[in-house]
Copies of this chain bind each other. A is one copy, B any other.
Amino acid sequence: MAAAAPAPATAPTRTPVSSSFFPSSRAVSFCSGTYRPNHSAAAASASAPWWRRRDPAVSVAAGSAQSAPGALAVDPKVDTLLDSVKWDSKGLAVAIAQNVDTGAILMQGFANKEALAKTISTRKATFFSRSRSSLWTKGETSMNFINVHDIFLDCDRDSIIYLGKPDGPTCHTGAETCYYTSVYDALQGLKHNKDRQVTSTLYSLEDTISRRHEETVTEGSGKPSWTKKLLLDNQLLCSKIREEAGELIQTLLENEDQSRTASEMADLLYHAMVLLRVKDVKMEEVLEVLRRRFSQSGIEEKASRNKS
């Protein structure tokens, strides 16, 4: 897959930038500030849409919806891009917010042209509220903004992903994501549980390990599971991590088959994640470290320096 510009490690700050801001060598697939200000007559026209006006009342900048006025002026390329989206009869397209580190789908709303323009320029996920008929930047009340690292359009150009990092829980209920009602759970008569959110495999595993950890506190009797044994015995856990790392390495050195490599990597990942739980570190924090490092070519730089 192709590359992209380094990402800001946290909520991006952005000031009007020259074209030299766009690096030609791109390390990982996150983009940083991208628009180039264009102080055209059209941009200054009062009849132009707000994202083309330099209107203090609506202007936005520098990764903050509360930024200083007068900073917004948008490249005509933004207009062209906005026009290329297939807006529906109401001028809307589906907009999905996704956590850049975990891949969790946080929420789904709709964007109109202005909402997408504002998201592009402010890098705060912004939607069009159909009930209020107005723009709505997620976090403008709760302060739990979704800091957008990249935006994707689908092949039909009628669906948008805001790929970003949330400042806090996205759902108004306080849940991390709005998707916590499993249809199959509901059909079994199970009450929905905000802790039972839509998660992909890695985070389901993390949740399972966390539950085992809680059980080590609440449950005193019964035969403990392997995870619980590991959670309660640091020496055992450490020896297993060493052993699994050795077995992964062996699949390379002894040219074992690919399924063996996948299996040993799964073992290593699982045991290392138990250690993360003991240390109360979330996988999301690890991924954030990786993102920051790679956006600075950090691991490579650091590792290379270590070797020289």
A289 x B303 contact (CB < 8 A): no
A3 and B196 contact, Cβ closer than 8 Å, known pairs A184-B34, A201-B101, A205-B290: yes
CB closest chain-B residue, reference A165: B201
B238 in contact with A304 (CB, 8 Å): no
- Is A83 part of the binding interface, using a Cβ–Cβ cutoff of 8 Å? no
Footprint of B on A, CB under 8 Å? 1-5, 22, 27-31, 34-35, 75, 77-78, 81, 94, 96, 98-105, 107-108, 116, 120, 150-157, 159, 161, 163, 171-173, 175, 178-189, 193, 195-202, 204-205, 207-208, 210-211, 225-227, 229, 234, 237-238, 240-242, 245-246, 248-249, 251-253, 258, 261-263, 265-270, 272, 275-276, 278-281, 285-291, 293-294, 297, 299-301, 303-304, 307
Are B100 and A105 closer than 8 Å at their CB atoms?
no
Besides A28-B208, A98-B200, 18 other A-B contacts (C-beta < 8 A):
A2-B193, A94-B94, A98-B198, A102-B103, A152-B182, A153-B183, A155-B171, A163-B200, A201-B291, A226-B301, A226-B303, A227-B300, A229-B304, A252-B275, A258-B281, A262-B281, A265-B281, A266-B290
- Cα(A162)–Cα(B11), bound, Å: 30
Given the complex of chains A and B, what is the CA–CA distance between A283 and B163 in angstroms? 20
The oligomer's copy count stands at 2
Q: Does the CB pair A201–B22 fall under 8 Å? A: no
Residues of B within 8 A of A104 (CB): 103
Please state if A100 and B208 are interface contacts (CB–CB under 8 Å).
no
A265 touching B249 in the complex, CB below 8 Å, given contacts A96-B105, A107-B154, A300-B227: no
B187 and A35 form a contact (CB under 8 A) = yes
**Pick from B3, B234, B272, B294: contact of A253, CB under 8 Å:** B234
- B-chain residues with CB within 8 Å of residue A161 when the two chains form the complex: 105, 179, 198
Q: B262 touching A226 by the CB < 8 A rule?
A: no
Cα separation A241 to B240 with both chains bound (whole Å): 14
Is the CB–CB distance between B276 and A226 below 8 Å?
A: no
Within the complex, the shortest CB–CB distance from A305 to chain B, in Å, comes to 9
Give Cα distance in the complex from A293 to B199, angstroms: 17
Q: Across the interface, which residues of B come within 8 angstroms of A108, CB to CB?
A: 94, 96, 154, 159
A269's partner among B78, B188, B290 (CB-CB below 8 A) is B290
Q: 27 A–B contact pairs at CB < 8 A? A: A1-B193, A1-B196, A2-B193, A2-B195, A3-B196, A31-B185, A77-B187, A78-B187, A94-B94, A98-B198, A99-B200, A100-B201, A105-B161, A116-B183, A150-B183, A151-B182, A152-B180, A154-B181, A155-B180, A157-B181, A161-B179, A161-B198, A205-B294, A234-B253, A242-B245, A251-B279, A258-B280
